[in-house]
Structure 1
């Protein structure tokens, strides 16, 4: 006979299955997340409407309240960088600098440069991919390897490891752990080197084998794409709604590369200055008052730093390229609108996680996670990795894990002396490992814009986007366990 605990656990598994299967078929997460939450609550015999309005919605709304500024400014910055011609200018400069003889490196570095500077992943896809196609064709490198090169440069170390990256994934742990975007910078650099080094080694090996077999660039036919399904998948994968890519007007000209790079440099520089020097030097004791939420600088400083950096970069970008925007208002509208669906989609995943975490059966899940051998870092990494894989979203999976377990791990850190900065970096890197399932929005988009299929390219995407990140995660956990955070 099944016990209530067993039935509750089956309900959580059923809810995750509903969420995963239907999301991968292109169903909107805005409906799937509350539906899956109600399935889990029903199995546990919990009040459904109460969980929807009193558990799900406050958690979803809290995520929007906390992180919408970053989604909004990040999407707007990416759209303005694209419409001003700045991303094209950077891509062209990288193409001229490295040329076809270093085509793989050119694609990887171009993608890394723009995404580390704050340009949205999907904006980078639609610019870097055409550049890569031209380079790969000139170098006679198989087209099927291009998605892996794009993935390495845009979805790995610049998202989860490089200190100060403005990616939303790097921002999510900050309020939970009281950290900054530059948490554990030394470990982040080591992890970046592991991801980049392994990814380039793998791609170099694959190019050499293809040439030895006499394989060239390949055909030019593109596979069909289900645009509706792509949009729904993409909205949970990253922070930009791809439906807004074609809105607005792109500049017919391009700024000089130095001018194009300036906003990217400002994002990193202002982020560093705000988080490490300016905000810590100011008095924010008033934040402890009830009217400001009873918080402190550690709870909001990271978000403030990234938001200020993006805002300064946007103002400089517009000011230095005002004559290059054919329709500035349209570009601004498209960029702002591009943030809405992603933030609501991830917020819905957060609401789902809140309902699951509130169920009595989840206590068994919590105990299982904390009982995993290897210490708290391994437990935290395992929980984040599994949830990112099940949701197909690095940000969604990480948010669910932190909402359910973040407080517990902070208590462990206080007792054991574990540095929250180390937990921050482990969590972010773990979120970017198994999130790249075959139907993940980023994967589907990469394949579509590169004109490749899963059969042709997915193995290489796994090696550069998943295996490289897993190796980096293992190295960071090992170094952090022995030496602590640095």
Structure 2
């Protein structure tokens, strides 16, 4: 009954999330359903001491990254900087390379720390006009935005400030630049493979053309006469995030004396465990200040922009933290030992492959890259790290495989980003999801397998 309860709980979580019920409600209720079906276990104690404790721990660790990332994205959007970058790329590449222009516009912004949701709203009006001018079917537009927003810049390219690249750091003692060569290779596979697929699909459409589509609310979000900053100023905050992150990670924090971290009041931790998160926090704060300073006169209401970004960070982090709490409850159940042993035994001589399966499956079930990864690492991370160390596997490889694995099955139809993207573009799963699946699920999984094979051999 315990095993049945776990599987029933997981299936209901996936189905009801797809039906639009918020995970803040679903996660505790379905976690406790699994507890009840497991037998004589204390329900209230599990909720307060396991679920809430795990949820709170996640918020304590990652809230600054969600908060600062959301504020940075909002500042970049409201100052016109995000649109300026997108238009510069589009102007340089032209209508004949419309797909690549859209992908790179999204990629530059997300790699610079702008939230994928903000990027979708900022880039869509420009991308839509470009697709119409190039007479490319609009049904391919969501896949182009998805490719640039939540594939190679989210999980692959080293240095990306995406939360999916930050979560593995404390588990493996790594930083956001882990396994740079393999990460870059995976990113190139996703970028090149996805772009070639969409270009091929556009050519195969023949006389179909852009199509007849109604105007959506997002079409009018950016007025044509907006006072945009020049590209050189618009791109500076994005460059700042990347450069500062690298300098702090490789040169500043490694040379700091931080013996005080061993004291109980500072969590009895080590510098290597927190340096990666510190680097992202400092980089984002400095880049927010830079973006505001360079574009102060362009804000209609700076206070409202900051407040909006702040509030916009709350639902994403608590959704993810609730999924982490759910995973902690499931991991505490006696029947979970059977699942854990099965996952660990899939590839007993290759913990990298086992880790990739665990993260992909949980990301697919929850429809969340960060949520699935967090559940996997909080429940099995210690075992995977120990197995990797015993077999002499690089912790940087474990980090990169974990990040890449979170960006595979997460983009199934019930994924929140997919649903939001289709709503922004005014399209449906039936029209656009097959191409989203190829560029955001199939090709990233191919890139992941390539990294696992090469990483294991080398």
TM-score w.r.t. the length of structure 2 is: 0.97
Kindly state the Cα deviation for residue 251 of structure 1 after the two structures are TM-superposed: 9.8
Displacement after TM superposition at 1:250 (Å): 12
Name the structure 2 match of 1:439: 414
Pick one of 38, 44, 48 that aligns with 2:38.
44
Query: Which residue matches 1:23?
Result: 17
2:35 equivalent to 1:60: no
Picking from 313, 316, 320, the partner of 1:346 is 320
Give the corresponding residue for 2:285.
311
- CA shift, 1:224, in A, is 11
Q: State the shift of 1:417 in Å.
A: 1.1
- Mapped to 2, the partners of 1:310 and 1:462 lie a distance apart of 31
- Measure how far apart 1:14 and its partner are: 1.3
Distance 1:277 1:159 in 2: 24
User: Which residue in the other structure is 1:419 paired with?
Assistant: 394
Q: Is the 8 A contact 1:51 1:355 kept in 2?
A: yes
Q: Partner of 2:208: helix, strand, or coil?
A: coil
Note if 1:185 corresponds to 2:194.
no
The answer on whether the counterparts of 1:413 and 1:419 sit within 8 Å (CA) in structure 2 is yes
Deviation at 1:349, TM superposition (A): 0.6
Report the RMSD for the aligned CA atoms in angstroms.
1.7
Q: Alignment partner for residue 255 of structure 1, among 223, 226, 229?
A: 229
Provide the residue aligned with 1:3 in structure 2. none
Q: Any conservation in 2 of the 1:171–1:303 contact (CA below 8 Å)?
A: yes
Moved more, 134-143 or 445-454: 445-454
Q: Write the distance in 1 (CA, Å) between the matches of 2:306 and 2:334.
A: 46
1:396 aligns with 2:371: yes
User: For 2:12 and 2:89, how far apart are their aligned partners in 1?
Assistant: 44
Matches within 5 A, 1:221-232: 221=214
Gap change, CA 1:250 and 1:131, over 3 Å in 2:
closer
Residue number in structure 2 paired with 1:216: 209
What are the within-5 Å matches in structure 2 for residues 16-165 of structure 1?
Answer: 16-45=10-39, 46-165=41-160
- 1:406 maps to 381
The residue matched to 2:257 in structure 1 has which SS?
coil
SS of residue paired to 2:212: coil
| 2:245 corresponds to 1:271 | yes
CA distance in 2, matches of 1:251, 1:210: 34
**How far off its partner does 1:200 sit?**
1.2
Say which SS state the counterpart of residue 410 (structure 2) adopts: coil
Q: Deviations over 1:2-21 (max 9, x none)?
A: xxxxx111111111122111
Structure 1 residues 403 and 448: CA distance shift in structure 2, 3 A? same
Aligned length, in residue pairs: 454
Q: Where does structure 1 lack aligned partners over 5 or more consecutive residues?
A: 1-6, 226-245
2:125 is paired with a residue of what secondary structure?
helix
Output the CA distance in 1 between the equivalents of 2:130 and 2:389. 52
Whole-Å separation in 2 of the counterparts to 1:115 and 1:288: 35
**Against the structure 1 CA distance between its residues 291 and 33, is the aligned structure 2 distance closer, same or farther, given a 3 Å change threshold?**
same
Which of 341, 358, 362 is the matching residue for 1:383? 358
Cα distance in 1 between the residues matched to 2:306 and 2:454: 44
Offset, 1:223: 8.2
2:359 aligns to what SS in structure 1? helix
Q: Aligned partners of 1:250, 1:413: CA distance in 2, in Å?
A: 54
1:323 aligned partner: 297
TM, length-normalised to structure 1 = 0.91
Decide which moves more: 71-80 or 126-135: 126-135
Cα drift, residue 414 of structure 1? 2.1
**Distance in 1 between residues matched to 2:242 and 2:10, nearest whole Å:** 37
For residues 443-473 of structure 1, what are the alpha-carbon distances to aligned partners after superposition, in whole Å with 9 as ceiling and x for unaligned? 1122122222111111111111111100100
Aligned counterpart, 1:202: 197
Give the CA deviation at 1:92. 1.2
Q: Secondary structure at the match of 1:340?
A: helix
Number of the residue aligned with 1:235: none
Structure 1 residues 251, 21: closer, same or farther in 2, change over 3 A?
A: farther
* Aligned residue among 327, 336, 360 for 1:362: 336
CA–CA distance in structure 1, aligned partners of residues 273 and 53 of structure 2:
18
C-alpha distance 158-219 of structure 1, shift in aligned 2 (>3 A): same
Distance 1:207 1:18 in 2: 37
1:222, CA displacement in angstroms? 6.0
Alpha-carbon distance between aligned partners in 1 of 2:225 and 2:49, rounded to the nearest angstrom: 47
Deviation at 1:156, TM superposition (A): 0.3
Q: Is the 8 A contact 1:223 1:452 kept in 2?
A: no
